[in-house]
Amino acid sequence: MQDPTAYHRAAKAKTKTTVTVIVPAYNEEDGIRDTLDALKKQTQPPDRVIVVDDCSTDNMPAVLKFEYDDFADVLRPPANLGSKARAQNYALQFCTTDLVLPVDADTVLAPNYIELIVKPFKDPNVVIAAGNVQTKVTRTPTERGRSIEYLVGFHWERPIQNAANSPTVCSGCCSAFRRQDLADFGGFPERTIVEDMDYTWSQQIAGRKAVYVAGATAWAADPVTIRYLRKQVWRWASGAAQNIRIHFRELLRHKPMLAFWVILRLIDASVLTPLWWLTPFFLIFMFDDSFPHAMLIWLGLDMLTMAPILLYASARRRLNPLRVLGNIPFAYLNKTINTWYVWKALIVELILVPLGKSEGLVIYEKGR
């Protein structure tokens, strides 16, 4: 007589969604331990972990060899590949599982992340699933400003986009992809500087689904200084403009709701934010108001807009609400840098590149 426990184990194994985690890494000695240790603690362990050591020059290769040799397979290309997309594609050829889950070497997944991120793939039309990204550390002004952006983005904007079946991007630091569809597409796109947005838009234009899994949390390392924030935001803004140049007509034809969110985000960053900065001066000159009074009105309006969202996000994340609200001033710093680079990217990628006056941003630089 067959052991019923063994039978159920075999049946479960047949229906289990298999996952390979790809960790692209270059000089990540400081962060890769946290990333790999978090993968070890998953309630649904990955079937395979591949670390692509992109010719690191720090002590990371030794860390991998002596501390994680029995956990992760390490691939080292003959020469530095120069971008995250190329590093992930280098590993993709060795993957045979149902899904691939790229995880940045400075990102930490919650213990139930893989268990939750695989669930949407029961729908055969889903090709990408993205988690909820939050800041790993909130010490410096730039990190504290980014924490506000993530709380608003992943607890307000992203759920609305998901309900409209139109996520604008599935974050490249921790999104899961259906492997065969990705391979059929040619792998992670290398034509733009942000492969995650490129693939997210391409698949939605083709009629496939990208979804947001709110409960799957990941904590990412963010720029600790203005210098690195500028590098990261310049890459993100340039990549977004590159994707607008490549995809926007097809978005309007095949995915108008996604085009709407892209336009809305673009107007917010390039037009509404600068106008918001000018509001105190408008109050002074139009209503003969005093500067201190105008500033109080301006800050009060901002708090009325931001506070309910942030208080809701604080409750969901079980964060100290006063600490969260205290980070709002730092978001102004990030917004200013975002606006500058959005305008720069629009000029370079949508005007100078088509005119042949610039090749745009083609060199991948880490923003940390």
Q: What pLDDT digit, counting tens, does each position of 279-314 carry? A: 877 777 777 767 777 777 777 777 888 899 999 999
Q: Could you report the per-residue pLDDT of 130-147, keeping only the tens digit for each? A: 999 999 999 999 999 999
Decide if 4 is inside a domain. no
Decide if 51 is inside a domain. no
Whole-number pLDDT of residue 290: 76
Q: Which residues contact 303 (CB under 8 A, 6 or more apart)?
A: 325, 328
Decide if 243 is inside a domain. yes
Measured CA to CA, the distance from residue 234 to residue 173 in angstroms comes to 17
Whole-number pLDDT of residue 11: 47
Decide if 14 is inside a domain. no
Within 13 Å and on the Cβ side, how many CA atoms surround 93? 8
Q: Could you report the per-residue pLDDT of 231-282, keeping only the tens digit for each? A: 999 999 999 999 999 999 999 999 999 999 999 999 999 998 888 888 877 7
Whole-number pLDDT of residue 120: 98
Q: How many domains does the chain have?
A: 1
Q: Could you report the per-residue pLDDT of 71-97, keeping only the tens digit for each? A: 999 999 999 998 999 999 999 999 999
Whole-number pLDDT of residue 289: 66
H or E segment and range at residue 50: strand 48-53
Beta-strand runs (E) in 113-208: 126-135, 176-178
Q: Which of 114-128, 294-308, 322-336 has the lowest mean pLDDT?
A: 294-308
Within 13 Å and on the Cβ side, how many CA atoms surround 46? 32
Average pLDDT value for the chain: 92
The pTM of the whole model exceeds 0.85: yes
User: Cα dist. 288→122, 298, 361 in Å?
Assistant: 61, 15, 45
Measured CA to CA, the distance from residue 236 to residue 160 in angstroms comes to 22
Decide if 166 is inside a domain. yes
Percent of the chain with pLDDT over 70: 95
CB 29 within 8 A of CB 59: yes
Q: Could you report the per-residue pLDDT of 153-191, keeping only the tens digit for each? A: 999 999 999 999 999 999 999 999 999 999 999 999 999
> Is residue 4 pLDDT above 60, yes or no?
no
Q: Could you report the per-residue pLDDT of 340-367, keeping only the tens digit for each? A: 999 999 999 999 999 999 999 988 876 5
Decide if 312 is inside a domain. yes
Q: What is the identity of the amino acid at 335?
A: K
Whole-number pLDDT of residue 1: 43
Decide if 142 is inside a domain. yes
Q: Could you report the per-residue pLDDT of 32-81, keeping only the tens digit for each? A: 999 999 999 999 999 999 999 999 999 999 999 999 999 999 999 999 99
CB 246 within 8 A of CB 357: no
Decide if 179 is inside a domain. yes
Q: Which residues contact 257 (CB under 8 A, 6 or more apart)?
A: 164, 165, 166
* Closest-CA residue to 187 (of 356, 69, 56, 22): 22
Measured CA to CA, the distance from residue 331 to residue 54 in angstroms comes to 33
The sheet carrying 19-25 orders its strands as 73-75, 48-53, 19-25, 99-102, 176-178, 126-135, 209-220, 107-109
Full domain range(s) for residue 151: 118-368
